Structure 1
Amino acid sequence: MKKLTFNFSQRLTALAIFSLICISWIPVQSQEQSKPFKILTGHSDKVEQIVFSADNKTLISASRDKNIQVWDIDSNKVLRTLSTQSEGVTSIALSRDNQILVSGDIDHSVKIWDLPTGKLLITLNGHSQPVEAVAISPNSKLVVSGSDDRTINIWDISSGKLLHTLTGHPDYISDLTISSDGKTLVSSSGDADYMAKLYGNIKVWDLETGKLVYSLKQASPVANIIISPDGKTLFSGSFGQIESANSAINTIMLWDLKEGKLIRNFTENTESVESMTLSSNGKTLITGNFRGNINFWDWENGQLLQTFNNDSNSINTIAISPDLKYIASSSDNTIKLWKIPPI
């Protein structure tokens, strides 16, 4: 074996190259200085979901305390409280024009509200167990609800008529998302391991007909799904630690929505993905994990851009304002607002 020797100049060059390589390998560190600039208090129980209005002026929160609160972001004041008179609210969805709000309840019902007035328009009954996820079609004509009873219902908003009941998930429905053109519905469920291998825990549907297009198999429970604004990419985040050689533990997966093929995946450190959202420009994926961290990702290459340290509690829900100025998160009965750098 030959011995390599370097003169002084060569050593400096080699050291510089080595240093550059090492720097490129250094992981993005948590930004300790990143703290919430507002904390909204008003709920008495766990906040399950947060959404921003399209005009960036209000924030809407749903809680297990049976209430939905509409907040003015500038003043921190509650503009109105919608009392569901249920056992607790699990999920909400807001129409693009900010007029219609849909809520899913622990008492198995789906409620449709006129948001400007806070008036309850109609209550939809059709599930036999708690509703875990709701979605509104882009044209505000359809409501979709997913339940612990393993079914997905598609409703007509104006009449309250049940149009389709979709079946096939062998476990509870964890999330729903609709493409921006209103043609595709995607559902996810908490089934995992052998059940996912048999049936698939992500399903893609034709929203108009209710017919299954295809199923995807992610071998650990799926908590969240999002479709990119251009309708080309589906994001799924898994949670929980499944003892399986091929399980996708704590993994964010990117799928070609048209072809149903996996593009790539990357891991959310060692913590499960509890919540997830996508910036309105489609460039940045934001995840909340079990340890209370909020992570910003360049999803095209899986690079972690920045981390906000929330606290030690799991991030139940996370949302980003349409103007990309704020992040809202909750891990308890409060809501934290963060200012974010340009993304």
Structure 2
Amino acid sequence: MRPILLQGHERSLTQIKFNREGDLLFSCSKDHIINVWFAHNGERLGTYDGHNGTVWTIDVDSESRFLVSGSADNTLRLWSVQTGKCLYRWEFPTAVKRVAWSEDDSQVVCITEQRMGYQCAVRIFDIDREGDGTNQSKEPSSIFYPIGSKATLCSFAHVPNLILMGHESGKVALFDAKTGDEVLNNERAHMDVVTDLQLSPDRSYFITSSKDKTARLHETKTLTVLKTYTTETPLNSAAIAPGKPYVLLGGGQDAMSVTTTSLRQGKFETRFWHKIFEEEVGRVKGHFGPVNTIAVSPKGDCYASGGEDGFVRVHHFDESYFRAKPYGDLEIEE
């Protein structure tokens, strides 16, 4: 797989996202800029300029019409994907660490950081999709403060009124979006910070990665751990490959401690694991630092990884990937 190298950021990547069709790739980084690229050839389509701090998180709606971003400048912003214009901004007392659209594109959930005496807060905004998108309500439709360990990741779960969250203690929990009550939790989902959380296309299960050197597959409804993938390096990101029984994991020691280890030790590869058999099936090298974020195209034809080195690498799968028989001679009916 010859990667396409996307050079549009000056600092380390924080999150990358494909749109639903898989033809556009959005990337954000610590250099305050959000870029959008064509996935098939890596050409840069445009940038979303306006944040004054690290852009921690982005998400695009299913129509590729609106983009939301959260940043260390304490704002959540709504952008027009087509024109690159900032349509609306919400301001908070602390940085926005994670944003996500609901399945029907009517709401956005965001987590703000616990800092300077402010609690970690989860806010849900109703997004008005009529007109040009500039007419948004300033107040969230609901807001709650998860007690206990700091929440770092959030997403809408398998049913509309539940929010799925990952925490610093390694806990994974479901919260009621209206009341903010914790509906269900798995305190021991991980032993350390949950670093990434990505749902399957139908949201019935999800994968998490953690600094405890494991990635886990969980059922969304019960939060049961279905599979565990154990590596020897802290993980920053994990993604589920659609249409094939693989999960992709990425990580590596953080930049601070890398100098004390050899490059081989840093383990800066993207790893492919068999989702069912929990076996590692391949690795893809390339980044000069830890892999911070991984996304797989919803079409299943390529994946992208963003690294501490400031590069995004897009890999289009070879023919052999589609011909491979992941279950041996057993034919799985779609």
> Considering the TM-score relative to the shorter chain, is it more than 0.5?
yes
Residues paired across the two proteins, number:
290
Query: Which residue is equivalent to 1:311?
Result: 287
More displaced stretch, 291-300 vs 278-287 = 278-287
Q: What residue in structure 1 maps to residue 174 of structure 2?
A: 204
> 2:316 maps to what in 1?
339
* 1:140-159 paired onto structure 2 within 5 Å: 140-149=105-114, 150-158=120-128, 159=136
- Gaps spanning 5+ residues in structure 2: where? 115-119, 129-135, 253-266, 325-334
Aligned: 1:188 with 2:151: no
Alignment of 1:136-175 (within 5 A): 136-149=101-114, 150-158=120-128, 159-160=136-137, 161-175=139-153
Residue correspondence of structure 1 range 8-19 to structure 2 within 5 A: none
Q: What SS does the aligned partner of 1:316 have?
A: strand
CA-atom RMSD in angstroms: 2.1
Contact 1:67–1:89 (CA<8 Å) still a contact in 2?
yes
TM-score by length of 2: 0.80
Shift of 1:101: 0.4
Distance 1:208 1:283, change over 3 A: farther
Q: Is the aligned partner of 1:80 residue 2:46?
A: yes
1:183 Cα offset (Å): 4.1
Task: List aligned pairs for 1:45-56, cutoff 5 A.
Answer: 45-56=11-22
1:320 to 2:302 alignment: no
CA 1:42–1:226 in structure 2 vs 1: closer, same or farther (change >3 Å)? closer
Going from structure 1 to structure 2, the CA distance change for 1:170 and 1:278 (only over 3 Å counts) comes to: same
Q: For residues 229 and 85 of structure 1, what CA distance do their matches in structure 2 show?
A: 30
User: What corresponds to 1:99 in structure 2?
Assistant: 65
d(CA) in 2 for partners of 1:134, 1:187:
11
2:8 corresponds in structure 1 to: 42
CA deviation digits over 1:111-133, x for unaligned, max 9? 0111111121111123x221111
1:27-85 alpha-carbon deviations (Å, 9 max, x no partner): xxxxxxx5x42111121222211111222322111121111111123443322111123
Q: Aligned partner of 2:142: which letter? A: H
Decide whether the 8 Å contact of 1:48 with 1:89 is kept in 2. yes
State whether residues 254 and 264 of structure 1, in contact with CA within 8 Å, keep that contact through their aligned partners in structure 2.
yes
Matched, 1:275 2:237: yes
Q: Is the 8 A contact 1:169 1:189 kept in 2?
A: no
Moved more, 165-174 or 250-259: 165-174
Most deviating of 301-310 and 313-322:
301-310
Task: Provide the C-alpha distance between the structure 1 equivalents of 2:18 and 2:106, rounded to a whole number of angstroms.
Answer: 20
Matched, 1:89 2:55: yes
Contiguous gaps of at least 5 residues in structure 1: 1-33, 193-200, 240-248
Match of 2:328 in 1: none
User: Corresponding residue for 1:22?
Assistant: none
Q: Give the TM-score taking structure 1 as reference length.
A: 0.78
SS of equivalent residue, structure 2 residue 141: strand
Shift of 1:226: 2.5
Matches within 5 A, 1:17-28: none
**1:181 CA displacement:** 4.8
**Shift in alpha-carbon separation, 1:190–1:66, aligned structure 2, 3 A:** same
Give the corresponding residue for 1:261: 224
Instruction: Give the Cα separation in 1 of the matches to 2:246 and 2:280.
Output: 10
- Conservation of the 8 A alpha-carbon contact between 2:207 and 2:239: no
Partner residue of 1:252 out of 191, 215, 236: 215
Moved more, 142-151 or 88-97: 142-151
In the alignment, the residues of structure 2 paired with residue 51 and residue 227 of structure 1 have an alpha-carbon distance, to the nearest angstrom, of 13
C-alpha contact 1:148 1:171 (8 A) present in aligned 2:
no
Instruction: Find the counterpart in structure 2 of residue 123 from structure 1.
Output: 89
Secondary structure of the residue that 1:191 maps to in structure 2? coil
User: Which residue of the partner structure matches residue 246 of structure 1?
Assistant: none
Aligned to 1:242: none
Per-residue deviation at 1:296?
1.5
Task: Choose from 278, 284, 305 the match for 1:302.
Answer: 278
Q: Deviations over 1:222-275 (max 9, x none)?
A: 111223334332322211xxxxxxxxx3122233322233334231x2111111
Flag the 1:91–1:115 CA change in 2: closer, same or farther, 3 A.
same
Cα 1:264–1:321, aligned 2, differ >3 Å: closer, same or farther?
closer
Identity of aligned residues (%): 21
Q: Which has the larger radius of gyration?
A: 1
Which of 247, 252, 255 is the aligned partner of 1:285? 247
- State the distance in 2 between where 1:131 and 1:259 align: 28
Q: Which runs of 4+ in 1 moved over 4 A?
A: none
Residue matched to 1:66: 32
